Amino acid sequence: MKNKKGIIFIVTMIIAASIAVESAVAVTADSAVILGDADGDNDVTITDATAIQRHLAEFLQLDGDALRAADADRDNSISILDATCIQRYLASLEVIYPIGAPLPDESATEEATSEIQNGMPAIAAGQTAVVKSLYTDSNGDSAVIPTAFTVSAKADEQTIAQGLVITGPDGSEFVWVPTAATPLTMRNFGSYFSGGSSLSGYYDETDLDTYKEMEASVEEYGGFYMGRFEASQGENNLPVSKRITDSTQGRIWVQFSPQDATIACQKMYEGNDDVQGFFPWGANWDTTLQWLIDSGCKIKSEITSDSTSWGNYSNDTFSEGARGNTTGMWEEAKANNIYDLAGNNWEWTQERYGSGNYVMRGGGYNLMGGACPGNYYPAAIRDPLPGNNHHPNVVFRAALYIK
């Protein structure tokens, strides 16, 4: 009997010891490190959230790459919030961090160190930024990529001169508008619905804090992001910049006043410390159009006099019955990877005219794209309307600046 009890005691001690060893073992990921993959099996599952909880309870010790992967909210510490982020990701709820994406290699080598530019790690085409990163294209031009945004994997969307495309965690697409050679300012393109030939009476409220913050960002980082498409309605009543065609779900967001658009754009990507959504001013619109000219994408007359060749108008040759309930429908209506700047729908901006009026830009699908004044409305056209107008044929476009 004593021997039997002794055997039981020994077996119990062995089991307890094995449990203690298992609890103390360091979990280290192999190969590429995936954000959220705390158990190192190259997949993000509920067991990763459990591993974080066990780590916090000191039942398990995460170490090395596993510790990096477990920091799901990228705040350089492990907390229950990391497990929560993973659980939200698995439930298909909104998470601003690129969970499931590979983390950049942090090997302590001179090569890796040399890839840190302007205090930001380098990022390649097709990759998702885990932290604010710097993308440099094949021409040596650079743009800042915010956390959780992905650089396009398509070759014709990867150069800054021809329109670098990035995609946000909500699927919205934006194009970088560089300002080194095309400074941010309003421009007199000579296209005015109200007649005349000067900018007199048209202005941006440059004394607003929101404008000053955007302007400072553009000066520091050398550009801003313009929405690739006209805005449509996304989750949580927020605007998104996505293609809307006959075969895709969604609708262009009409009957939205400029004041509504300002508030909605500012709420985009709340919680992302790298980027700020905003409703474009006249300076952003004019700078985008001037960039099309400076980059060689369009000649000046195609912007200021006749935009029929690249706009969805009643007299164009490609839309087969122009209408404005889509955006990104026709490749002919693309310029430097931005769609529908000419025609399609009038677009509100924050540009002002006189007292109480906001300015629409770009013309519409039911108009003609030729020279103004008269019945012709090129991309550079300006048309003021009262700011409280919820017009059924006027939309807006979202933009971003780097924080």
pLDDT of residue 97: 73
Distance CA 143, CA 225 (A): 10
Closest CA to 310 of 337, 291, 285: 337
Mean pLDDT along residues 388-396: 82
**CATH top-level class of 168-402:** alpha beta
Q: How many angstroms separate the Cα of 349 from the Cα of each of 36, 191, 362?
A: 40, 16, 10
Which residue has better confidence, 197 or 369?
A: 369
292: three-class secondary structure by DSSP: helix
Please give the share of the chain, as a percent, with pLDDT higher than 70.
Answer: 83
Mean pLDDT along residues 342-353: 94
pLDDT band with cut points at 50, 70 and 90 for residue 32: confident
pLDDT band with cut points at 50, 70 and 90 for residue 256: confident
Which residue has better confidence, 100 or 221?
A: 221
pLDDT greater than 70 at residue 6: no
Tell me the CATH number of domain 2-90, given options 3.40.50.2300, 1.10.1330.10, 3.40.640.10, 1.10.150.120: 1.10.1330.10
In this structure, are residues 191 and 197 in contact, taking their beta carbons and an 8 Å threshold? no
Half-sphere exposure of 267 (CA within 13 A, CB side): 12
pLDDT of residue 145: 98
pLDDT of residue 373: 52
Distance CA 277, CA 210 (A): 11
Average the pLDDT over each of 14-23, 38-47, 280-289 and give the range with the smallest value. Answer: 14-23
Q: How many angstroms separate the Cα of 267 from the Cα of each of 204, 262, 263?
A: 21, 9, 7
Average the pLDDT over each of 103-107, 155-159, 237-241, 323-327 and give the range with the smallest value. Answer: 103-107
Mean pLDDT along residues 77-103: 83
pLDDT in tens, 195-220: 666 788 899 999 999 999 999 999 99
Which residue has better confidence, 220 or 116?
A: 220
pLDDT band with cut points at 50, 70 and 90 for residue 371: low
pLDDT band with cut points at 50, 70 and 90 for residue 34: confident
Distance CA 180, CA 182 (A): 6
Which residue has better confidence, 23 or 208?
A: 208
Mean pLDDT along residues 52-81: 86
Say how many residues make up the chain.
Answer: 403
pLDDT band with cut points at 50, 70 and 90 for residue 16: very low
- Strand segments (E) across 63-183: 116-117, 120-123, 133-136, 142-145, 150-151, 165-167, 173-178
- What is the residue-averaged pLDDT of the chain? 84
Most confident among 13-22, 202-211, 232-241 (mean pLDDT):
202-211
Model pTM score: 0.76
pLDDT of residue 322: 58
Which residue has better confidence, 148 or 64?
A: 148
Q: Domain coordinates of the chain in residue numbers?
A: 2-90, 168-402
